[in-house]
Amino acid sequence: MKMKEYELFIGPQHPGITGNMMYHLWVDGDTVVKAECNVGYLHRGFEKLMESRTWMQNIPLVCRICVPDPDVNEMAYSMAVERLMGWREEVPERARYIRTVVLELSRIAAYLMGIGSYAGALGIYTLPQWALGDRDYIMDIFEQLTGARIYHIYIWPGGVRWDMPADLPKLIEKTMKYLEKRLKLYDDVFFKNRIFFDRAVDIGVIPKEKAIEWGVTGPNLRASGHEYDVRRLEPYAAYENIDFDVIHYPELGKFDVLSSGGDAYTRMLVRRLEIEQSISIIRQALKKMPSGEHLLKHPNWFKWEVPPGIAYERVESSKGEYGYMVVSDGGKKPVRVHVRGPSYTHGINVAETILKGANIADVSQILFSLDICPPDIER
Partner 1 sequence: MKAKEIIGRGEEVHGRLYVKVEKQEVRELIKTLKENKFQHFVMLSCIDWIDDGEFELVYHLWSYEYREHVMISTRIKREGEEMESLHDLFPQIETYEREIKEMYGVNFIGNERLTPFFLEGWPHMPPMRKDFDSKKFIKDVFESIPPVEDEDEGI
Partner 2 sequence: MSVIKPLKAWKHLLKRPHTIRYPYQEHVDMEGKRLPTEVLRGFHSNDLEKCIGCKMCGMICMNDAISYEEIPELEVEKGKKIRPIIDYGRCCYCGLCTEVCPTGSLKLTPNFKLIDVDREKFRFMPTQLNVKRDDYMVDENAILFSPEEYKEKVKGNK
Under the binding rule (CB under 8 A), the answer on residue 340 touching partner 1 is yes
Under the binding rule (CB under 8 A), the answer on residue 20 touching partner 1 is no
Structure-derived torsion over alpha carbons of residues 75, 145, 87, 243, reported in degrees to the nearest 10: -70
Q: Which of 7, 338, 356, 357 binds partner 1 (CB under 8 A)?
A: 338
Q: Please say whether the dihedral angle defined by the alpha carbons of residues 144, 285, 102 and 334, taken in this order, is positive or negative.
A: positive
Q: Which of 259, 345, 364, 365 binds partner 1 (CB under 8 A)?
A: 345
Under the binding rule (CB under 8 A), the answer on residue 311 touching partner 1 is yes
Q: Which of 74, 321, 362, 371 binds partner 1 (CB under 8 A)?
A: 321
Give the nearest distance from C-beta 224 to partner 2 in angstroms: 23
Give the nearest distance from C-beta 86 to partner 1 in angstroms: 9
Nearer to partner 2, 279 or 355 (CB): 279
From 136-144, 269-277, 295-303, 308-316, give the range in contact with partner 1 by CB under 8 A. Answer: 308-316
Between CA 129 and CA 135, with CA 133 as vertex, the angle to 5 degrees is 120
Distance, CA of 169 to CA of 241 (rounded, Å):
19
Residue 373, helix vs strand vs coil: coil
Distance, CA of 368 to CA of 120 (rounded, Å):
9
Under the binding rule (CB under 8 A), the answer on residue 257 touching partner 1 is no
Nearer to partner 2, 42 or 148 (CB): 148
Q: Which of 168, 335, 360, 361 binds partner 1 (CB under 8 A)?
A: 335
CA distances from 326 to 70, 248, 305, 335 (A): 18, 31, 13, 8
Under the binding rule (CB under 8 A), the answer on residue 213 touching partner 1 is yes
Distance, CA of 379 to CA of 204 (rounded, Å):
26
Under the binding rule (CB under 8 A), the answer on residue 157 touching partner 1 is no
Residue 33, helix vs strand vs coil: strand
CA distances from 79 to 96, 155, 156, 237, 329 (A): 11, 10, 9, 9, 17
CA distances from 333 to 82, 86, 304, 322, 337 (A): 15, 17, 9, 22, 10
From 177-185, 250-258, 331-339, 356-364, give the range in contact with partner 1 by CB under 8 A. Answer: 331-339
Residue 348: which of partner 2, partner 1, none does it interact with, CB under 5 to 8 A by kind? partner 1
Residue 309: which of partner 2, partner 1, none does it interact with, CB under 5 to 8 A by kind? partner 1
Q: For 147, phi and psi rounded to 5 degrees?
A: 90, 5
- Footprint on this chain of partner 1 (rule: CB under 8 A): 39-40, 43, 45, 47-49, 51-52, 83-84, 212-215, 217, 226, 228, 233-234, 309-312, 314, 321, 323, 325, 327, 335-336, 338, 340, 344-345, 348-349, 353, 378
